[in-house]
Amino acid sequence: MNRIYLLKFAACALLPCLAAAAIPVSNPQLTGPVTGGDHGTAFGALPADDLTRAGYSEAEYFYGGTATAYGNEGTWGLDGVWPAKPTTTADYKVRMLVLRPTDAKRFNGVVVVEWLNVTALQEGAADFIQMREELFRGGYAWVGLGVQAAGVNTPKIALKGWDPTRYGSLQHPGDNYAYDIFSQGAQAIRHPKGTDPLGGLRIRYMLGVGRSQSAAFMIGYLNAVHPLTERLYDGYLIHSRVGGTYGFPDNLKGIVPANPHIRTDLDVPVLDLQMEGDYVALRSHLARQEDSKHFRLWEVAGGAHSETPRWVVEVPPALDHSQNCKDPINAAPGHAVVKASLHALLLWVRDNKVPPKAPLLELGDPAAADPILRDKYGNAKGGIRLPEVEAPTATVNGLPNSPADPKATLNFCRLFGTTVPFEKGALSELYPTHDSFVKPFDKAVDSIEKAGFWLKPEAEEAKKAAAASSIGR
């Protein structure tokens, strides 16, 4: 037994030890910046004017090599402690999209690495959409990794179909390999060999983030893969997860439990952010778990899986029906909590400042179609209280919406929640004067900001919107 192994063995005897000898993560071949193609731009690229205003640059890279799949080694329980082992290997080549401050002095030392979402069978930056203002003003770098097969291979609409000239060389062997592709992407960012996608910026911390389907995959990554490999990510934001997870071979059916917890013996912080709509539409309340040393759960009353937000809900202007949904979709600004969750995770990782404990949503029958208890306005009880539910002008919820055309395909209305504005008479009775609305609204804004679930810029915007609204006039 050599000296290094003896030291590791001794450390494990005294402290929690996830892996006695971490499996090294391969450093993939990275090429770029990628240019050209039929469209002359990267899929999902930001407009040049947006980048200029933010003081950011954008570049696309390809990375590839040989990826490993993982399987179980023993029983996998609801506690998320999943002993795993490498199984098969396959060649791959995918892409990363990189945003970074053009002035290196603005870089805060933190890279947010997003597992791009492919639920729409294309690569989408589902978390970036809701984080972008905080990313830009905070000086973060952001990298989107295209680690799932659908984003590369889906005919016509995915990368190879959208621009065969630019993306024709990409290859993805299947989602069993997505976990290692996610690790190797991080390796290429954190320990570049040759081409540096961050252009020499000095990285202090890397945060892994994923929303919806991506969050579900990351449950498997946290429970089985992160403990097995060398540490690349310093913390994780799991946003709007479903109850289960994906990314393991079909022969593990029956091995992977439904509604697993995130294991609590991880060596890095995990913040789990859930909207009330995730509990209704995705049934992820069945995976609810208690806070622990490295785990925090935030639940947002009034928030849906997706939204078209307003600080104050009033009509006019007309509410959004998104993808031709039957009813107006959720208008609550859940994105403000997303931004605060990113900031809270950073403070946790960088300063060891543990995020505040959040009040939980009040649940009734967990088997009910709507497991959430609601107040007289139809808004959720408990949870992180948005001003839009504390000083309500509408019912905003995560209840399933439906397509206006019942024959519609690839429609996600069930995830978008609904908004039902109060009738004028009821609104006038509730807020007879403008001041009688603004005061409780501002009080709710101050409360959620003080508690750490909103940041100052969003709080100021919300107060301005309330002051300018027509409520009570």
Per-residue tokens: 308: 């078209």
Residue 195 within a domain: yes
> Under a CB-based contact definition with an 8 Å cutoff, are residues 82 and 27 in contact?
no
- Give me the number of domains the chain comprises: 1
Distance, CA of 79 to chain centre: 22
Residue 446 within a domain: no
Residue 333 within a domain: no
pLDDT tens-digit profile, the chain (473 residues): 333 333 333 333 333 444 456 899 999 999 999 999 999 999 999 999 999 999 999 999 999 999 999 999 999 999 999 999 999 999 999 999 999 999 999 999 999 999 999 999 999 999 999 999 999 999 999 999 999 999 999 999 999 999 999 999 999 999 999 999 999 999 999 999 989 999 999 999 999 999 999 999 999 999 999 999 989 999 999 999 998 899 998 878 889 999 999 999 999 999 999 999 999 999 999 999 999 999 999 999 999 999 999 999 999 999 999 989 999 999 999 999 999 999 999 999 999 999 999 999 999 999 999 999 999 999 999 999 999 999 999 999 999 999 998 887 768 999 999 999 999 999 999 999 999 999 999 999 999 999 999 999 999 999 999 999 999 99
Residue 48 within a domain: yes
**CA geometry: angle at 314 spanning 275 and 383, to 5°?**
25
Residue 233 within a domain: yes
Query: What is the rounded CA–CA span in Å between residue 470 and residue 314?
Result: 8
Residue 312 within a domain: no
Residue 202 within a domain: yes
**What DSSP state is assigned to residue 76?**
-
Query: What is the rounded CA–CA span in Å between residue 60 and residue 41?
Result: 9
Query: What is the rounded CA–CA span in Å between residue 7 and residue 140?
Result: 37
CA distance to 64, 93, 172, 450, per residue, from 149 (Å): 14, 11, 5, 42
Query: What is the rounded CA–CA span in Å between residue 338 and residue 254?
Result: 34
> Under a CB-based contact definition with an 8 Å cutoff, are residues 39 and 216 in contact?
no
CA distance to 72, 79, 267, 293, per residue, from 75 (Å): 7, 11, 22, 24
Q: Residue 225 is part of which domain span?
A: 25-268
Residues in the chain: 473
Residue 156 within a domain: yes
Task: Specify the CATH number for the domain of residue 215.
Answer: 3.40.50
CA distance from start to end of the chain: 80
